[in-house]
């Protein structure tokens, strides 16, 4: 999927994220957890966000979309699909908690993340929490869980969750307004290993 990038830099209130997405089975498994949380009236933010289940590899501001897409496309072509295992659910605490799936440590994921950040230097401002050394790999399950609902969410998920495998198959770029992340727009997506698959 491709969308023609805008010329120049994007408005200052719009950010771009580079994401890694999964095979169909893992995508379905994550969406099932989203649905469980929504059906139990805990949080439906990920179901309405408009983006597939993913790991966010970088968030950038004041970025040139065409340059970002070009770097992501090259990196994807040079990177083979790889396997992960999501083995636990964790929480980023805050006024509204974020519940997420945490993958086991993965050399392939760490290398992809490092390579991306090396490749996008100089084309925008990278947010600190996605930089190597600060980044916590995670697939978000809920973005806005109020404290009074957090314990219920954790009990529910502890009964329903079983570790599962995922294969990282694609890289994508999405844009969103970071002041209040309620919706995101897919700008670009490409398969990993496209270069090696070419005849």
Identify the pLDDT of residue 7.
45
Tell me if 198 is assigned to some domain: no
Tell me if 197 is assigned to some domain: no
Identify the pLDDT of residue 12.
55
| pTM given for the model | 0.90
Tell me if 165 is assigned to some domain: yes
Tell me if 5 is assigned to some domain: no
Tell me if 131 is assigned to some domain: yes
The domain tally of the chain equals 1
Tell me if 194 is assigned to some domain: no
- The residue segments making up the domain with residue 49 are 15-177
The CATH number given to whatever domain includes residue 121 is 3.90.1140.10
User: For residue 51, what are its two tokens?
Assistant: 């983006």
Number of DSSP helices (H) and strands (E) in the chain, helices first: 6, 8
What whole-number distance in Å separates Cα of residue 132 and Cα of residue 86? 20
* Rounded average pLDDT per 10-residue block, the chain, 199 residues: 44 83 98 96 93 97 91 96 98 94 98 97 94 97 93 95 98 82 84 70
Identify the pLDDT of residue 181.
61
Tell me if 195 is assigned to some domain: no
Identify the pLDDT of residue 9.
47
Identify the pLDDT of residue 136.
98
């Amino acid at each position: 999927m491709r969308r023609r990038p805008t010329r120049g830099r994007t408005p200052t209130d719009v950010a771009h994220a580079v994401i890694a997405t999964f095979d169909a089975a893992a995508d379905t498994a994550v969406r099932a957890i989203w649905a469980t949380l929504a059906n139990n009236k805990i949080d439906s933010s990920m179901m309405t966000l408009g983006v597939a289940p993913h790991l966010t590899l970088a968030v950038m501001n004041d970025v040139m979309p065409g340059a970002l897409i070009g770097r992501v496309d090259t990196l994807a072509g040079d990177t083979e699909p790889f396997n992960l295992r999501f083995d636990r659910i964790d929480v980023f605490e805050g006024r509204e908690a974020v519940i997420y799936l945490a993958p086991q440590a993965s050399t392939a994921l760490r290398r992809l993340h490092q390579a991306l950040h090396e490749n996008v230097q100089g084309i925008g401002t990278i947010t600190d929490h996605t930089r190597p050394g600060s980044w916590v790999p995670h697939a978000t399950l809920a973005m806005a869980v109020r404290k009074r609902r957090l314990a219920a969410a954790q009990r529910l998920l502890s009964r329903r969750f079983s570790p599962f495998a995922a294969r990282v198959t694609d890289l994508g770029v999405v844009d969103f307004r970071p002041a209040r992340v309620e919706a995101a727009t897919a700008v670009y997506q490409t398969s990993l290993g496209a270069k090696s698959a070419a005849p």
